[in-house]
Structure 1
């Protein structure tokens, strides 16, 4: 058996550049899409649920002619949508 010739330094450099390019610019992945979907969902859910709990407490402590719970749920949805939109814009700018 004859030994295989060593790779040239040019081949090694090209392979290293390809590996670095793949690492720096990963292609679309189903797992990345699922994680993005989850991050957007949590960024809306957490402020909404927090607003609901705070609203329930305020309805007991400081009753008003309106429902604190409904007002703060709506506020939580708006804050969550703003957080999600800024996160999406940040992800888009990173690409």
Structure 2
């Protein structure tokens, strides 16, 4: 049989503080990284695809000397990059 040693109140308090700190700050998670990767992908893909559909419609309705489709795809990618940049900035701050 093993004997458990008596713990002092300080030992118990220190252990409780360490457990609370571990619970409050769990550390990095592989699933969180996958979620971040997915969020960045969707924040760029959705505006780009939306720009493509809007551009195809505008090319039929209001033809110009340039391609609305290409212009709005590029605009969607730029908008998506700005959204992703802001989202990464928020995640980096820990908020």
- Shorter-chain TM-score above 0.5: yes
Number of the residue aligned with 2:67: 67
Number of the residue aligned with 1:28: 28
Which blocks of at least 5 consecutive residues in structure 1 are unaligned? none
Deviations 1:34-54 (A, max 9, x none): 001001111101111110111
Deviations 1:16-40 (A, max 9, x none): 4333322321211111110010011
Q: With structure 1 as the length reference, what TM-score do the two structures score?
A: 0.81
Which blocks of at least 5 consecutive residues in structure 2 are unaligned? none
Q: Are 1:79 and 2:79 matched, yes or no? A: yes
| 4+ runs deviating over 4 angstroms | 4-13
Residue 6 and residue 57 in structure 1: after superposition, are their counterparts in 2 closer, same or farther (change >3 A)?
farther
Count of aligned pairs: 94
| Deviation (angstroms), 1:94 | 1.2
Coordinate RMSD, CA, aligned:
2.2
Q: With structure 2 as the length reference, what TM-score do the two structures score?
A: 0.81
